[in-house]
Structure 1
Amino acid sequence: MHKSFYQFLMTKRNPGSSDPIAEFANNAFYDQSFPKQLDEFDSISKYLEENAGYLPSMVVFDDVWKQYQEDM
């Protein structure tokens, strides 16, 4: 079954962790506007650049995106 990026990202949640990917996932979980159904890099990247003050660096997104692609 195909997962959206958000569904994949939620598998990375770990509320007790200081790992940047886990923190990204934890914060995205609380982001009511996160595009949960999207699976296109450009659309998600644009959203994060414009709206995700909780993401310290787009490198974190790039790393998770690479994992997402490998998982698919």
Structure 2
Amino acid sequence: MKILREGDRGCALAPERGRVEIVYEYRTVELEKSKATVSNVLVGVDTETGEVLTVPAQSTPKLKAAREAKKRR
């Protein structure tokens, strides 16, 4: 697994636009199903629109922990 850092660049598939350039940034994200809000998550962001397009594998443990904590409430 490649460890990504803030500022790293790459490509991702954007809905209706195809392959676009992304930059990895730390953001606060809200999970769709659980509605849990998680801060300081590294995500891949479209450089033109600012839309979050990817979540690197290294960020999934933090998201999983937030989802499980929300379930326990």
TM-score (norm. length: structure 2) = 0.29
Q: Which has the larger radius of gyration?
A: 2
Structure with the largest fraction of helix = 1
TM-score (norm. length: structure 1) = 0.30
Higher relative contact order (CA 8 A, sep 6+): 1
